[in-house]
Amino acid sequence: MMLAANMFVGPAIDWMKISPLLVMLGGVLLLILGGSLTPQWKKGAYGIVGALTAAGAAVLTAMLWRDLGNGEPTTLIANALTYSKFSLFATFTIAVGTLLAIFVTSGFLVREGEDGPEVFALILSASIGGMVMVQANDLIVMFLGLETLSLAFYLLTASSRSRTASGEAGLKYFVLGGFASAFFLYGVALVFGATGSTNIDKIATSLSANTVLGGSSTMLLAGIALLLVGFGFKVSLVPFHTWTADVYQGAPTPITALMGSVGKTAAFVALIRVFTGALGNRSDDWGPVVVVLAVLTLVVGSVLAVVQTDVKRMLAFSSISHAGFILVGLAAASKINSSDAGLGSSNALGYLFIYSILVVGTLAVVTIVAGKGDAETSLDAFKGLGKSHPVLAMGMTVLLLAQAGVPLTSGFVAKFGIIRAAVSTESYVLAVVAMLAAVIAAFLYLRIMVSMWLSESESTREISISMISRLAMLLCVAGTLAIGMFPSLLLQFTNQL
C-alpha cells in the first residue's frame, strides 16, 4: 500500500514549551557551522557563544516554570515529552551545570591552546541529550536522549589530544557505555513486551490495571532488572561503578565536571522518572533492590574514596558515594503508600542541583591546580595551596566542606533533605547508614584540606588562573554559601515538585 503524503498528520508542537531545547540546538548549529565556515574566532569567543546558549536555555526554562504556575503537568509532541515542574527543574539544573562547566572548559582550552568550536558544540549536544532524557515521557525517546548524551561524552572524554590517558579513558567509556546502553534497550524491550507500551504513562496505567501480557511477571521483572543495570551504570552505582574512576581521571578535568553535573543529573532524573513514574506500582519488587544498591554504593564509594591518592580519582569515588545518597531518595520514593513518598524524588532533585554546582566548582579548582597539560592532579599538587593561593584554597575548602555536608553550606541542605525523605518514610536504618557513609567520605575531603592548609609545598610550580575560571569558581562558591545559609532560596522551588 502506498502512503499518500497528506495521510501523515504531524503532531501538534507547542514550540514555546520546547524552546530551551531549540535554543541549545541553535547554539550547536551556530558553533559547528559558524565555526567551520569562518576563520579562528577570538580567544574565548566560542566559549562565550556556548555560555550564552546555556544561559538562554536556563532563562527560558525559568520563564516556562513561571508560566506553568500551579498548572497541571501535561505532555508535548504526542506524549513524547513531559512538561511538568519536575522536568522543568531538571532541565534548569542541566542548563546551569552546562553553563558552569562551559566557563571552566573555556578557561581550560585557552590555557591549553586548544580553543575551538568542537568541544563546546559537543558539550551543548550532551546537554540536549540530558534534557531530552529528563523530559522524556517515552522510553524510546529517553533512549535517544541517553545515546545523544553518551556519544557526546565518549568524544569529550577523548578530546584532549595531548594526553594519551584521555583517549584511553574515552575508549573504555565507549565500550562499557555501549554495554550499558544495550542493557537499557533490552530492558525497554522486555517492559514493552510485558505492558504493550514504551510510554511511561501507559506503562503505569497498564501495571495499575494489574494485567501483565502473557500472564507471568517474569518478563516484566527481567525488564526492570535490566533497566536498573543500565541506569546503574550511567549513574555509577556499586557494583556497576568500575568505569567511573578511570574515566573521571582520564577525561579532561572540565569534562569530568560536566559528567558529574549534567551526566549524573540526567541519568538520575531519568531513573527516578522511570521507576516512580512507570514502574511505581511495582515498587515492592524494585524497592528492596534499590535499598541494597544504595547501601553498597554509599559504603563502597566512601571507603574506596578514602584510599585514593589522586584528587580526580577521589572525587570520582566521592561522586559514587553521592550517588548512593541520592539513591536513598529513590528508596524513599519507593514507599508509595506513604504520604511523604514524593519527598524522595523532590529532595533527590534538590540534591542533584546542589551537587551539580559543587562538583563543577570543585573540579574548576582541580583544573586550575592541574596546570598546563592537565597533569598535576595528585594530592601532592595541592600541598601548600593555602599559603600560595589563599583565596583559591578557601574557595576549595568551602566546596569540600559542602561535599562533606557541613552546616551553612548547600551540601548540608542537600543531605538534610534526603535524610528527611528517608525518615519520613520510616527508613531509619538507611538514614543512619547514609550519614555514617558521609562521615567516612568526610575523611577524604579532610585529606585534601590537610594537603592544602597543613602541608608544605615541595615544588615551586606557577599556577595561572584565568578570569573565566575565577568567575566559575566564584559563582559556585557563592551559590554553595547562599543556599547553605538561606535554604529557602532553593526549597521554595523544590517544595513545589
Q: Which of 48, 21, 61, 79 is nearest to 353 (CA)?
A: 61
Q: Which is nearer to other proteins, 213 or 432 (CB)?
A: 432
Residue matched to cell numbers 503537568: 73
From the list 188, 382, 453, 479, which residue makes contact with other proteins (rule: CB under 8 A)? 453
Q: Which is nearer to other proteins, 179 or 416 (CB)?
A: 416
Q: Which is nearer to other proteins, 326 or 404 (CB)?
A: 404
For residue 120, the tally of other CB atoms under 10 A from its CB is 29
How far is the C-alpha of 374 from the C-alpha of 164, rounded, in Å? 12
From the list 54, 278, 399, 431, which residue makes contact with other proteins (rule: CB under 8 A)? 431
145 in Cβ contact with 266 (< 8 Å): yes
How far is the C-alpha of 130 from the C-alpha of 150, rounded, in Å? 9
Q: How far is the CB of 359 from other proteins (least distance, A)?
A: 21
DSSP H helices, 273-310, are 283-306
From the list 443, 459, 467, 482, which residue makes contact with other proteins (rule: CB under 8 A)? 443
Q: Which is nearer to other proteins, 35 or 301 (CB)?
A: 301
Q: How far is the CB of 343 from other proteins (least distance, A)?
A: 10
Question: Which residues in the 355-414 window bind other proteins by CB under 8 A?
Answer: 401, 404, 406-408, 412
Q: How far is the CB of 308 from other proteins (least distance, A)?
A: 16
Q: Which of 220, 181, 106 is nearest to 466 (CA)?
A: 106
The contacts of residue 51 (CB under 8 Å, 6+ apart) are: 99, 102, 103, 106
Q: Which of 258, 344, 248 is nearest to 304 (CA)?
A: 248
* Residue 450 contacts other proteins per CB under 8 A: yes
For residues 457 to 486, the per-residue mask of contacts with other proteins, x marking binding by CB under 8 A and - elsewhere, is -----------------------------x
Q: How far is the CB of 256 from other proteins (least distance, A)?
A: 26
From the list 33, 436, 467, 482, which residue makes contact with other proteins (rule: CB under 8 A)? 436
Q: Which is nearer to other proteins, 36 or 488 (CB)?
A: 488
Cis peptide bond prior to 487, omega within 30° of 0: no
Q: Which is nearer to other proteins, 436 or 467 (CB)?
A: 436
Q: Which stretch binds other proteins (CB under 8 A): 17-25, 132-140, 367-375, 420-428?
A: 420-428
Q: In this structure, what C-alpha cell is assigned to residue 134?
A: 529528563
DSSP state of 412: H
* Residue 487 contacts other proteins per CB under 8 A: yes
Q: How far is the CB of 48 from other proteins (least distance, A)?
A: 32
The contacts of residue 220 (CB under 8 Å, 6+ apart) are: 190, 191, 194, 195, 207, 212, 282
Q: How far is the CB of 495 from other proteins (least distance, A)?
A: 5
* Residue 439 contacts other proteins per CB under 8 A: yes
Q: In this structure, what C-alpha cell is assigned to residue 455?
A: 602541608
207 in Cβ contact with 274 (< 8 Å): no
From the list 416, 463, 470, 471, which residue makes contact with other proteins (rule: CB under 8 A)? 416
Q: Which is nearer to other proteins, 296 or 435 (CB)?
A: 435
The contacts of residue 87 (CB under 8 Å, 6+ apart) are: 73, 81, 134, 135
* Residue 446 contacts other proteins per CB under 8 A: yes
195 in Cβ contact with 207 (< 8 Å): yes
Q: In this structure, what C-alpha cell is assigned to residue 386?
A: 593555602
String of DSSP letters for 417-440:
HHHHHHHHTT-HHHHHHHHHHHHH
From the list 428, 464, 467, 482, which residue makes contact with other proteins (rule: CB under 8 A)? 428
φ/ψ of 76, rounded to 5, equals -120, 160
Q: Which of 177, 109, 176 is nearest to 149 (CA)?
A: 177
* Residue 292 contacts other proteins per CB under 8 A: no
* Residue 337 contacts other proteins per CB under 8 A: no
Identity (one letter) of the amino acid at 233?
A: F
* Residue 16 contacts other proteins per CB under 8 A: no
Q: Which is nearer to other proteins, 182 or 428 (CB)?
A: 428
Q: How far is the CB of 16 from other proteins (least distance, A)?
A: 30
Instruction: Return the half-sphere exposure (C-beta side, CA atoms, 13 A cut-off) of residue 338.
Output: 19
Q: How far is the CB of 455 from other proteins (least distance, A)?
A: 8
Identity (one letter) of the amino acid at 108?
A: F
* Residue 420 contacts other proteins per CB under 8 A: yes
Q: How many residues bind other proteins (CB under 8 A)?
A: 30
* Residue 353 contacts other proteins per CB under 8 A: no
Contact footprint for other proteins (CB under 8 A)? 401, 404, 406-408, 412, 416, 419-420, 423-424, 428, 431-432, 435-436, 438-439, 442-443, 446, 450, 453-454, 486-488, 491-492, 495
